[in-house]
Amino acid sequence: MTERESAPPQDSILVPVAPKTSFGAAVVESPTTPVGPGLPPEKIVPGFAKLSRLPDAPQVHPTHAADRTRTGSAPVPAAIQTPPAVTSSVVGPPPASPFITATDCDDADETTVVMNRPAPLIPWLLTTDTDETYVLAPLTLVGRKPNPRSAYPRAALLRLADPDKLLSRVHAVIDYNEDGICLTDLGSTNGTALITAQGTAYCEPNVRYMLDEVLAIDFGGARCTLRRADQ
């Protein structure tokens, strides 16, 4: 008996051969341990890592949906919106009020400044030879029937009674102020004469004469006298 024949018989080990797959590698079935309830036993494919369970689906946050393609990186926080800058225009001080306030009245000096006003003008009086007296305005046109003149737009009109028509319609103009009284013949027909203590002087037309020392005036034959109201 040879040595091979004298050896005790051993159980034969049968190794199952897996059918060929499309990958060209054999698939060896692992022990029939289910991966999870209702799942088939896992299979081990040579050259591939064993997976104990399916990977979890990636969590997608609505605020970081744009970072889904960046695997393994931290989500980028949303950009902080800066509120628009508030611009203000420079406003100057309000205009001063034209009204006086109570504070202004309190601070005002109680002293009142007295202004020197000119004394009121004393009027002159004209009296005719018929004893009619008229108060003269500071500028007066005298005649039988005077009418306004462009050269004396503010002159008052004094109409003297003249039944004999010795006066012209606008015979003369008389004006006075605080310095004295004057007369100007306006080219009358019968002329104007001034009677003084020295005698009689005839007036040239359109020449202004002072009457301070005149005793009487002769308007073409009608005599009148002048005096201040305070005399």
Q: CB atoms < 10 A from the CB of 216, how many? A: 16
CB 27, CB 21: distance < 8 Å: yes
pLDDT at 141: 98
CB 185, CB 211: distance < 8 Å: no
**Number of H helices and number of E strands within the chain?**
2, 13
**C-alpha–C-alpha distance, residues 156 and 136, integer Å:** 8
Q: CB atoms < 10 A from the CB of 174, how many? A: 24
Edge-first strand listing for the sheet containing 180-185? 156-159, 139-143, 172-177, 180-185, 208-210
Give the closest residue to 172 by CA, choosing from 198, 197, 144, 200: 144
List of residues 6+ apart from 112 with CB closer than 8 A: none
Specify the CATH architecture of the domain 124-228: Sandwich (2.60)
Given the DSSP bridges, would you call strands 133-136 and 124-128 parallel, antiparallel or unpaired? antiparallel
**C-alpha–C-alpha distance, residues 166 and 170, integer Å:** 12
Distance of CA 226 to the CA centre of its chain: 62
Give the closest residue to 33 by CA, choosing from 20, 44, 25: 44
CB 41, CB 35: distance < 8 Å: yes
pTM across the whole model:
0.51
Mean pLDDT of each 10-residue bin along the chain, 231 residues long: 50 52 47 52 53 56 51 59 61 64 58 78 94 96 95 95 93 96 97 95 96 93 94 85
Token code pair at residue 130: 């018929």
pLDDT at 79: 64
DSSP symbol at 56 = P
pLDDT at 78: 63
